[in-house]
């Protein structure tokens, strides 16, 4: 769908194969890392982009044109996302880029506005993105999903396998990729905040011949896998390597321990292992979770991992979000809460009223009396309602305020969710 705007004679529309050369001019100059700009490099990305235009159904590449000249591009992804245990539609923003000579015109902002309108028309509950500039998107009303925790450990520090575990493990082959994809789909359906892999991501993973997969099988069914690659850890000694674990997919904790045990067995080939997880309590799984840095933090603390924020999200429509997640279970309690926030892009003040009763939530009437009024940023509202953060913590930090301390504590208990939303999809 094309959208015209009076601003600078701009128009946004899907790209076609005829747009591939100006698209490459923008892409290769916006993401210059590992790109030589010679004809071989350009031919590679030309074929990649043409394949995406011809084959992808979940992803749409959009362009912003000024008087017929392409000045910015982006990809919009229709995700299937686990929201409180039910797969729901969400929309992702990927590869937003502006021509080097057309920056500081507001082109990126115009593209984000189109993205959010597209998400609304597509029925998405959330918009998702991976930020290059966190502050830029915070100012547009985006909040944080759960964090990712990266551990760099001696491989021998992982749980050791026993004979029962080894009976379930098998090195997977390229022809097992579809089974891994189905296993990941079940994993997403079990974990709040996860998304199913999308078309471009699947194509890239299927063709990545450097990735190895260790599978856990039960009765011939793949119930978990670890995807990893070997990386050199020394410029002068080829025997020094590390394992970089890109995915840990598992149906339960016993399978996770078994997969870690299989990785432990590679300690003779790779002395250290890097793995990433959204599980805050992962360090409890290890006898010694101290990482290889041996970093000491005052007073008496030993570094176990580094953490990072990645995916940011925003509610497409707060009331619609509450209505379409009415299945979410809550603790017992009756309370009406009003959330005051500023719509960052619209520039006006908004209020979302939610009534909690009978273990469910619902949109409250606009004139309903509130037991507690919470004032927060628009992005933090998304984080609170998705369970990325705790209201009591936000109040302690001054990131939010409430007009009733006792009712705010009750609201914090109601909003608590057992798992913070996290995902490691590459988009």
My answer on whether omega of the bond before 220 falls inside 30° of 0, hence cis, is no
Per-residue pLDDT reduced to its tens digit, 339-395: 999 999 999 999 999 999 999 999 999 999 999 999 999 999 999 999 999 999 999
For residue 154, pLDDT beyond 80: yes
DSSP string, 227-256: EEEEEE--SS-TT-EEEEEEEEEESSHHHH
- pLDDT, residue 3, reads 66
Which of 308, 326, 347 is the last residue before a domain boundary?
A: 308
- 86: confidence class by pLDDT, cuts 50, 70, 90: very high
CA angle 391, 396, 397 (to 5 degrees): 100
Do 303 and 166 lie in one domain? The reply is yes
Do 243 and 268 lie in one domain? The reply is yes
How many domains, the chain?
Answer: 3
For residue 52, pLDDT beyond 60: yes
Token pair in block for residue 139: 């100012």
Do 214 and 328 lie in one domain? The reply is no
pLDDT above 90 covers what percent of the chain? Answer: 93
Q: What is the CATH number of the domain that holds 347?
A: 3.30.1050.10
Token pair in block for residue 150: 């990266």
User: Residue 142 falls within a domain, yes or no?
Assistant: no
Which of 277, 308, 339 is the last residue before a domain boundary?
A: 308
Do 93 and 119 lie in one domain? The reply is yes
User: Residue 33 falls within a domain, yes or no?
Assistant: yes
- pLDDT, residue 229, reads 96
DSSP string, 199-227: HHHHHHHHT-TT-EEEEEEETTEEEEEEE
N-terminal to C-terminal alpha carbon distance within the chain:
22
User: Residue 74 falls within a domain, yes or no?
Assistant: yes
Per-residue pLDDT reduced to its tens digit, 192-239: 999 999 999 999 999 999 999 999 999 999 999 999 999 999 999 999
Do 304 and 370 lie in one domain? The reply is no
For residues 396-407, average pLDDT: 96
For residues 81-88, average pLDDT: 98
- pLDDT, residue 57, reads 93
- 38: confidence class by pLDDT, cuts 50, 70, 90: confident
The pTM (predicted TM-score) of the whole model is: 0.93
Q: What is the CATH number of the domain that holds 76?
A: 3.40.630.30
- pLDDT, residue 7, reads 63
Do 67 and 205 lie in one domain? The reply is no
User: Residue 402 falls within a domain, yes or no?
Assistant: yes
Token pair in block for residue 47: 């074929």
User: Residue 143 falls within a domain, yes or no?
Assistant: no
Do 323 and 302 lie in one domain? The reply is no
Tell me the Ramachandran region of residue 220: left when phi exceeds 0, alpha when psi lies from -120 to 50, beta otherwise: left
Do 256 and 347 lie in one domain? The reply is no
For residues 88-111, average pLDDT: 95
Which of 293, 308, 323 is the last residue before a domain boundary?
A: 308
Range list of H helices, 305-403: 318-324, 378-386, 391-397
User: Residue 423 falls within a domain, yes or no?
Assistant: no
- pLDDT, residue 268, reads 95
CA 84, distance to chain mean position in Å, is 15
C-alpha span between 181 and 225 (Å, rounded): 10
Per-residue pLDDT reduced to its tens digit, 1-12: 656 665 678 999
Do 324 and 294 lie in one domain? The reply is no
- 351 near 338, Cβ under 8 Å? yes
For residue 189, pLDDT beyond 70: yes
For residues 64-78, average pLDDT: 96
Beta pairing, strands 212-218 & 221-232: antiparallel
Nearest to 427 by CA among 162, 147, 20, 58: 58
Do 292 and 386 lie in one domain? The reply is no
User: Residue 370 falls within a domain, yes or no?
Assistant: yes
C-alpha span between 323 and 347 (Å, rounded): 25
Do 279 and 175 lie in one domain? The reply is yes
User: Average pLDDT over the chain, rounded to whole?
Assistant: 95
Token pair in block for residue 241: 């390597």
Token pair in block for residue 240: 């020094």
- pLDDT, residue 424, reads 84
Token pair in block for residue 395: 């109040």
- pLDDT, residue 4, reads 63
User: Residue 134 falls within a domain, yes or no?
Assistant: no
Residue range of the domain that includes 183: 148-308
Per-residue pLDDT reduced to its tens digit, 265-303: 999 999 999 999 999 999 999 999 999 999 999 999 999
Do 101 and 57 lie in one domain? The reply is yes
Residues 209, 184, 200, 29, CA torsion sign: negative
- 279 near 149, Cβ under 8 Å? yes
């Amino acid at each position: 769908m094309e959208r015209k705007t009076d601003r600078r004679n701009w128009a946004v529309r899907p790209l076609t194969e005829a747009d591939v050369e100006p698209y490459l001019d923008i892409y290769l100059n916006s993401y210059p890392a590992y790109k030589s700009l010679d004809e071989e490099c350009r031919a590679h990305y030309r074929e990649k982009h043409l394949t995406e235009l011809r084959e992808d159904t979940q992803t749409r590449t959009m362009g912003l044109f000024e008087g017929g000249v392409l000045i910015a591009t982006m990809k919009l992804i229709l995700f299937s996302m686990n929201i409180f245990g039910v797969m729901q539609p969400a929309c992702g923003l990927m590869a937003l880029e502006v021509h080097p000579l057309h920056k500081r015109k507001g082109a990126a902002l115009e593209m984000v506005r189109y993205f959010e309108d597209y998400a609304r028309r597509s029925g998405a509950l959330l918009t998702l993105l991976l930020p290059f500039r966190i502050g830029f998107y915070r100012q547009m009303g985006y909040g944080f999903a759960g964090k990712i925790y990266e551990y760099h450990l001696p491989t021998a520090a992982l749980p050791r396998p026993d004979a029962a575990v080894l009976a379930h493990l098998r090195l997977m082959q390229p022809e097992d990729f579809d089974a891994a994809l189905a296993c990941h789909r079940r994993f997403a359906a079990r974990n709040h905040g996860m998304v199913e892999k999308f078309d471009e991501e699947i194509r890239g993973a299927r063709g990545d011949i450097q990735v190895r997969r260790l599978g856990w099988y039960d009765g011939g069914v793949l119930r978990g896998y670890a995807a990893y690659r070997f990386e050199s850890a020394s410029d002068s000694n080829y025997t020094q390597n590390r394992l970089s674990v890109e995915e840990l997919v598992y149906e339960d904790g016993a399978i996770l321990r078994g997969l870690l045990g299989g990785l432990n067995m590679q300690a003779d080939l790779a002395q250290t292992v890097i793995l990433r997880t959204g599980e805050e309590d992962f360090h409890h799984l290890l006898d010694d979770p101290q990482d290889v840095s041996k970093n000491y933090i005052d007073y008496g603390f030993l570094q176990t991992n580094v953490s990072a924020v990645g995916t940011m999200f925003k509610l497409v429509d707060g009331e619609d979000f509450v209505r379409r997640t009415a299945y979410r279970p809550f603790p017992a309690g009756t309370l009406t809460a009003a959330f005051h926030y500023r719509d960052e892009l619209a520039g006006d003040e908004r209020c979302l009223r939610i009534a909690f009763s009978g273990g469910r939530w619902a949109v409250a009437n606009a004139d309903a009396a509130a037991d507690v009024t919470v004032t927060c940023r628009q992005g933090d509202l998304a984080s609170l309602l998705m369970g990325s953060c705790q209201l009591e913590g936000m109040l302690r930090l001054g990131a939010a305020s409430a007009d009733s301390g006792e009712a705010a504590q009750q609201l914090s208990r109601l909003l608590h969710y057992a798992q913070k939303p996290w995902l490691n999809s590459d988009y």
